[in-house]
Amino acid sequence: MNVSQAISARRSIRKFHDTPVARELIEQVLQAACLAPSGKNRQPWHFTVLQGAKKDTLVDAIEAAAAQNMTELELQASGALRTTKVMREAPVCIYVHNPQFALQGEHSKADNYRMRVDTQSVGAAIQNMLLRAEELGLGTLWICNVFYAEREIAAFLGRTDMLIAAVAIGYADESPAARPRKPLSEVTTWLE
Ligand SMILES: Cc1cc2nc3c(=O)[nH]c(=O)nc-3n(C[C@H](O)[C@H](O)[C@H](O)COP(=O)(O)O)c2cc1C
């Protein structure tokens, strides 16, 4: 599979088999993440791999936080519980943090600038994970619908840095059709 095939074939997967994923495959996915470019080569990423009971206990805590931190209406609208259901089903959840920024605290203008750079770097790393996983025959879901539980996640993982995303990984139990994309003409301006 070449890069363009992986880009075209990748889908967000929300149904997984319970077949475990070999550690060696997860390591290959994380190696791909680490090859991503990053601003000033800061490599502002840290990956926490959760499987089995640890993964599920954290999903329980995230669900409890959803109930506690959101009104019923927000909960319905957010799709939070749909996402935690996926995290429960997937055999692996990888939490991605930026160790260069604290979870809490004031941010200066310079910090904000650096945060924008770092966010792109971590995004590139996550996309590399998704594409390498695709090549290895694994399905993935990029997840941000966990920020409402960032304190609970920090406490569980013993981390004090900034949560950027989670990625669910496993063997796909669905083959969704390609989701629609805006036409290039709508998202591009050519000037000459
Ligand atoms: C930054 C980011 C955050 C996302 N967060 C979630 C999430 O929390 N829950 C979820 O089900 N999907 C999430 N997605 C997946 C998107 O819904 C999905 O990429 C989009 O609908 C396009 O579908 P496709 O990935 O199959 O092309 C996220 C994707 C990105 C890039």
- CATH classification at residue 75: 3.40.109.10
% of the chain beyond a pLDDT of 70: 100
For 20-29, write each residue's pLDDT tens digit: 999 999 999 9
Residue nearest to atom 29 of ligand 1 (CA): 142
d(CA 154, CA 97): 10
d(CA 105, CA 161): 10
For 66-119, write each residue's pLDDT tens digit: 988 888 888 887 889 999 999 999 999 999 999 999 988 788 888 889 999 999
Helix axes 52-69, 80-89, angle to 10 degrees: 170
Ligand 1 neighbourhood includes 179 CB (under 6 angstroms)? yes
**What is the 12 CA–ligand 1 centroid distance (Å)?**
6
Residue nearest to atom 7 of ligand 1 (CA): 143
Residue 192: inside a domain, yes or no?
Answer: no
Q: How many CB atoms lie within 10 A of CB 180?
A: 6
Structure tokens at 7: 């880009």
CA-14 nearest atom, ligand 1: 11
pTM of the model: 0.96
Ligand 1 neighbourhood includes 144 CB (under 6 angstroms)? yes
pLDDT interval class at 3 (50, 70, 90): very high
Total domains in the fold of the chain = 1
For the chain, what is the largest distance between any 2 Cα atoms, rounded to a whole number of angstroms?
Answer: 57
Q: What range does the domain containing 44 cover?
A: 3-187
Average pLDDT over residues 19-47: 98
Residue 101: inside a domain, yes or no?
Answer: yes
Given a contact cutoff of 8 angstroms between Cβ atoms, the answer to whether 61 and 156 are in contact is yes
Residue nearest to atom 12 of ligand 1 (CA): 143
Structure tokens at 161: 């840095």
